Amino acid sequence: MPSSAFTSHTESDWGRWLNQLADNDFVYIDHFTSAPLYRQIHRYFDRLRADHEFSRAAIGTARQRQVETSVRGDFIYWLDRDTDGELAELFYLLDELVRHIRQQLFLSISDYEFHFALYPPDTFYKKHLDQFQGQDNRVLSVLLYLNDDWQPGDGGELKMYEKDGAETLIPPLGNRLLLFRSDTVEHEVLCTQKHRKSLTGWLLRRPTSLNQLI
Ligand SMILES: O=C(O)CCC(=O)C(=O)O
Ligand SMILES: [Fe+2]
């Protein structure tokens, strides 16, 4: 992998972050990507949006997919390593994330999936778990927020329901990375007052159905 120009973190940073994730089921990290990479992701997002590449997000799995704006109101664009080759550096960084998670937390991540998400004003995503029946291969949820100049009162916080009953509000600040367990952490996106942008994804283990086949 080419280095130098790429975002890179020290082993001790990764160690600290992933310990927090293991202890609390979530962790957030500010200034996660390099400034040039952050700008590049932003530009790419805005170009896709100008080209009308986003579509309304649905809920449920393949057979039962439906658009339900009373549950979630975002528009998404699924990223693909080949089609979206301009974002190669982002994919390298995600690979680095997966490598550290495998090494430190001994999780067998075999793949990942990511989409951009855009929540227009007055939209939200009601309380849910990211791992559900038919989608039980999601191990960790990953968010990179893309909102500059986010102010208190703009809404759109991610409300996380923690295992001890505590509730934490995470403002979706630009270049903040958030990781949480997909199988245990219920969460919701509170109603946003402004356009709210993010990169959202999941680190996946081999689907159960495939395990059964092999
Ligand atoms: O954007 C966020 O903060 C969370 C989005 C979310 O919960 C999801 O897409 O499943
Ligand atoms: Fe979610």
Amino acid present at 211: N
Domain range for 87 is: 33-60+69-213
Q: Does residue 5 surpass a pLDDT of 90? A: no
Q: Does residue 214 surpass a pLDDT of 60? A: no
Ligand 1 pocket by Cβ (under 6 Å): 117, 125, 130, 143, 158, 172, 187, 189, 198, 200
Q: Which atom number of ligand 1 is nearest to the Cα of residue 74?
A: 9
Residue 77 lies in a domain: yes
Residue 158 lies in a domain: yes
The CATH number that applies at residue 199 is 2.60.120.620
Q: Please tell me the predicted confidence (pLDDT) of residue 1.
A: 46
Q: How many domains, the chain?
A: 1
- What predicted TM-score, i.e. pTM, was given to this entire model? 0.92
31 Cα: distance to centroid of ligand 2 (angstroms): 22
More confident position, 195 or 69: 195
Residues in CB range of 200: below 8 A, 6 or more apart:
76, 114, 115, 116, 117, 141, 142, 143
202 Cα: distance to centroid of ligand 2 (angstroms): 10
* DSSP calls for the chain: ---TTS----HHHHHHHHHHHHHHSEEEESS-S-HHHHHHHHHHHHHHHHTT--EE--BS-GGG-B--TTTB--EEEE--TTTTGGGHHHHHHHHHHHHHHHHHH-----EEEEEEEEE-TT--EEEE-S-BTTBTTEEEEEEEE-BTT--TTSB-PEEEE-TTS-EEEE--BTT-EEEEETTT-EEEEPPBSS-EEEEEEEEEPPPHHHHHH-
Q: Please tell me the predicted confidence (pLDDT) of residue 141.
A: 98
Residue 106 lies in a domain: yes
Q: Which atom number of ligand 1 is nearest to the Cα of residue 198?
A: 1
Residue 119 lies in a domain: yes
Q: What is the CA radius of gyration of the chain?
A: 17
Residue 22 lies in a domain: no
Q: Please tell me the predicted confidence (pLDDT) of residue 59.
A: 78
| Sheet (strand 186-189) strand order | 125-128, 186-189, 158-161, 167-170
Confidence of residue 20 (pLDDT cuts 50, 70, 90): very high
4 Cα: distance to centroid of ligand 2 (angstroms): 34
Average pLDDT over residues 151-170: 95
Q: Please tell me the predicted confidence (pLDDT) of residue 163.
A: 85
Residue 165 lies in a domain: yes
Contact 77, 53 (CB under 8 A): yes
Token pair 């999941």 is at which residue?
A: 202
Residue 190 lies in a domain: yes
**What is the residue with the minimal CA distance to atom 4 of ligand 1?**
189
Residue 127 lies in a domain: yes
